[in-house]
Amino acid sequence: MSLSAKQAFVARNEEKNAEVAAILSEKFGDRCSQSMSVREQHGHTTTWLPNQAPDAVVFAETTEEVAEIVRICAEHKVPVIPFGAGSSLEGHLNAPGGGICIDLSRMSSILEVSEADLDCRVQAGVTRKQLNSYLRDSGLFFPIDPGADASIGGMASTRASGTNAVRYGTMKDVILGLTVVTPSGEIIHTGGRARKSSAGYDLTRLYIGSEGTLGIITEITLKLFGQPEAISGGICSFPTVQAACDAVIMTIQCGLPVARIEFLDPLQVKACNIYSKLDMAEEPTLLLEFHGSEAGVKEQAEMFGSIASEYGGSEFKWATKAEDRTVLWQARHDSYWASFTLRPGAKGVATDVCVPISRLAECVTATREDLDEAGLLATIVGHVGDGNFHVLVLVDDDNASEIEAAEDFVGRLNARAIEMGGTCTGEHGVGQGKMKYLPVEHGGGVDVMRSIKKAMDPDNIMNPGKIFTLN
């Protein structure tokens, strides 16, 4: 696996990097680590890309500390890489030019909750599970739920999504405002608590999904939602992938207000059965959840049952008890780790795409055929209510031919999705792993992105080597 083939080159200045690491070590003491194990952990987590460790990791505790660290790095033109929970999949955390990683995990305070306005303000290191635990007795909840217990700051930076996106949207839909440290170390505030505004450029959405390349998000103001009166979930299997996807399309086109609708292919079901000790039928499967009133969720579940039967679906098995739904959805969230039970010791090449809902069945079916023809062992799972699905290819990373076959497959998958009017990533983000597909998807739009980056970060210190190259 060639490093140059995967990761954009960023020049390293070893002398400057070491100088700044020494300055920060003196200033922050044991909150600045130069231990190789700590550095490698912050440069590489769940990604399959080669590790590129920073020169030091600083554990910041306030926005002002983040700004101070960035000002020091800016003065010496040393790279800065923000770190949340470390759950990204496309090399977002690697440090190709070395530099300083700012770990925001200790910035984990929930600063303000307004039940009347259905909003809250949190520090970037707060995780989604932490926030919902805090909100449990308020009657409110935060709906965005990527499989990992990601930090809110990281979710904002990658424009994260999750199983609830079909009803509640993605991070861009629930963020009202941000506190950001710019590349010069200035602290700015974008947006606010108002639900709409026509005042100037929408800087909030510029930073959402920028993956730390334009600034470091330290606080986030979020929309919250009322906990539904009733929740009904269930499971339904289908004879073919086409039938399952067609049922999803019909469900959405009928306007059924489903909260979650998730797809698992037979291999993924098998893996979940092994890992989570379940007994689901090893067939193309949909997991669903409905939110609303007692009468509403009952009616919605019955309507879906009718749709499923039209496409050969099994009887829709309800799970109305909270503990039963928890088991089902925990298995879904554990699907990434469950996949490795199919090939112990393998590495996972994780990728995702998103297509218009009308092309979903075609894209998923073609993807499975592609995997089978290439002789690759892979699971498919997706938030298919909005056309997004994920593929995890299990490979022996010491086998060059397997790695090459997996890379070729990922290339074909991205090309297929883009050709269908979709995107090379519905929620993983670009990082390093998806860089080469961005020009195919956006064409000259990438040049506009470069212009924005150069204007806001002229010395290219903010998470360099991610999303696109500057030359």
Co-location of 278 and 183 in the same domain: no
pLDDT tens digit string along 153-162?
999 999 999 8
**Domain of 130: which CATH number?**
3.30.465.10
442: in domain: no
Q: And the tokens for 435? A: 């860089």
Co-location of 391 and 404 in the same domain: yes
CA distances from 345 to 39, 337, 394, 458 (A): 24, 12, 9, 43
444: in domain: no
The whole-number average pLDDT for the span 87-107 is 95
Residue that the structure tokens 């204007």 belong to: 455
217: in domain: yes
| pLDDT of res. 38 | 96
Co-location of 101 and 155 in the same domain: no
pLDDT tens digit string along 337-383?
999 999 999 999 999 999 998 899 999 999 999 999 999 999 999 88
**Domain of 40: which CATH number?**
3.30.43.10
Q: And the tokens for 261? A: 């609708």
Q: What are phi and psi of 354, to 5 degrees?
A: -140, 135
Beta-carbon contacts of residue 332 (< 8 Å; ≥ 6 apart): 147, 163, 262, 264, 272, 287, 381
| pLDDT of res. 97 | 96
Give the residue, 324 or 77, on which the prediction is more confident: 77
| pLDDT of res. 355 | 96
Domain that holds residue 88: 3-105+451-456
Co-location of 274 and 421 in the same domain: yes
pLDDT tens digit string along 299-318?
998 899 999 999 999 988 87
Full-model pTM: 0.93
- Best CA proximity match to 313, nearest among 248, 389, 361: 248
Looking at the chain, the whole-number percentage of residues with pLDDT higher than 70 is 98
Number of domains in the chain: 3
The whole-number average pLDDT for the span 74-92 is 94
Co-location of 67 and 130 in the same domain: no
222: in domain: yes
Co-location of 277 and 347 in the same domain: yes
CA distances from 405 to 258, 376, 377 (A): 37, 8, 11
**Residue at a domain's end among 170, 201, 226:** 226
Co-location of 142 and 77 in the same domain: no
Co-location of 44 and 79 in the same domain: yes
CB 168 within 8 A of CB 225: yes
pLDDT tens digit string along 57-68?
999 999 999 999
470: in domain: no
The whole-number average pLDDT for the span 418-426 is 96
| pLDDT of res. 6 | 55
pLDDT tens digit string along 209-230?
999 999 999 999 999 999 999 8
| pLDDT of res. 385 | 87
- Alpha carbons 134 and 126: distance in angstroms, whole number: 11
**Domain of 298: which CATH number?**
3.40.462.10
| pLDDT of res. 39 | 96
The half-sphere exposure of 86 on its side-chain side, counting CA atoms within 13 A, is 13
The whole-number average pLDDT for the span 418-433 is 94
User: Is residue 31 predicted with pLDDT exceeding 50?
Assistant: yes
The whole-number average pLDDT for the span 99-117 is 98
Neighbour tally for 316: CB within 10 Å: 19
**Residue at a domain's end among 204, 226, 248:** 226
Strand runs labelled E in 80-200: 80-83, 100-103, 110-114, 119-123, 140-141, 175-181, 187-191
Q: How buried is residue 158: exposed, middle or buried, by Cβ count under 10 Å (0-12/13-18/19+)? A: buried
- Band (pLDDT 50/70/90 cuts) for residue 2 is very low
The whole-number average pLDDT for the span 385-403 is 93
- Alpha carbons 365 and 463: distance in angstroms, whole number: 37
Co-location of 95 and 122 in the same domain: no
353: in domain: yes
The whole-number average pLDDT for the span 440-463 is 97
The whole-number average pLDDT for the span 77-89 is 94
439: in domain: no
Co-location of 279 and 339 in the same domain: yes
User: Is residue 146 predicted with pLDDT exceeding 80?
Assistant: yes
Residue type, 158: T
- Band (pLDDT 50/70/90 cuts) for residue 443 is very high
- DSSP of 195-239: S---SS--HHHHHTTSTTSS-EEEEEEEE-EEPPSEEEEEEEE-S
Q: What's the mean pLDDT when you consider all of the chain?
A: 93
User: Is residue 437 predicted with pLDDT exceeding 80?
Assistant: yes
User: Is residue 1 predicted with pLDDT exceeding 50?
Assistant: no
Cα 15–Cα 50–Cα 457 angle in degrees, nearest 5: 50
Co-location of 212 and 244 in the same domain: no
- Band (pLDDT 50/70/90 cuts) for residue 232 is confident
140: in domain: yes
| pLDDT of res. 8 | 73
**Residue at a domain's end among 164, 192, 226:** 226
CB 209 within 8 A of CB 428: no
Co-location of 91 and 125 in the same domain: no
| pLDDT of res. 45 | 64
User: Is residue 48 predicted with pLDDT exceeding 80?
Assistant: no
